[in-house]
Structure 1
């Protein structure tokens, strides 16, 4: 039983690493222009600095809200248009990656 738990833990870490790497790739192709390479900029000078958030679940909720509600989310159209093309998997991966950016600031 212990061996099984250890195996599950190792596999889970590998899956998380893949999610973070996929999130980094998506971030670099989609988000970096407005938010900066480490999420350190306010997009268009008005957004929250995303590297300050640090919680993957909060980030995921924000992105899904923007994607699903569109302009009714209250966000600018640049972000609405970007988020509209994200799949659930993209959002999960982005959230995993963006949450790691807070640790870079410490």
Structure 2
């Protein structure tokens, strides 16, 4: 009888503690998700206000705006706000000024040997861009 009672109490305590832990984990996950959404909203508002001058009216990237092109072609390696080193091998592009970004993109476009470890990828991407697209992209990235 004692054994059955001990087992019942053990199962009861284990059952209660894991639910509490799951609830705490779910609460923390919801809080974290809400914080991320709030930060994304703030960053989106900031970025769209900063870039309104040239993102609304420029659709030279095969029908995409500058920010849509960046999201499609650049963000996967460099981060949505240019905050990442692409595969830990590139410069952090949101730390560069417009002229440096322009010079780098033109270098990748015009010289297959320009750049570091990722030069082939960047050459392929930059060679698809016109000079006007490079100028618009450099201006956009410099505001991230």
Q: Above 0.5 in TM-score?
A: yes
Q: More helix per residue: 1 or 2?
A: 1
User: 53, 69, 73: which is aligned to 1:17?
Assistant: 53
Aligned length: 84
Q: 2:115 maps to what in 1?
A: 74
**What displacement does 1:23 show?**
2.5
The gaps in structure 2 that reach 5 residues or longer are: 1-51, 59-64
Q: Does 1:42 align with 2:85?
A: yes
**What displacement does 1:48 show?**
0.4
CA-based RMSD of the aligned residues comes to: 1.9
Q: 1:88 maps to what in 2?
A: 131
Answer yes or no: is the 8 Å Cα contact 1:56–1:96 preserved in 2: yes
Q: Bigger radius of gyration, 1 or 2?
A: 2
SS at match of 2:111: helix
Q: 2:107 maps to what in 1?
A: 65
Q: Which has the higher contact order (CA 8 A, sep 6+)?
A: 1
Cα separation, 2, equivalents of 1:85 and 1:67 = 8
Answer yes or no: is the 8 Å Cα contact 1:19–1:96 preserved in 2: no
* Greater than 6 Å deviation, 4+ residue runs: none
SS at match of 1:31: helix
**What displacement does 1:82 show?**
1.1
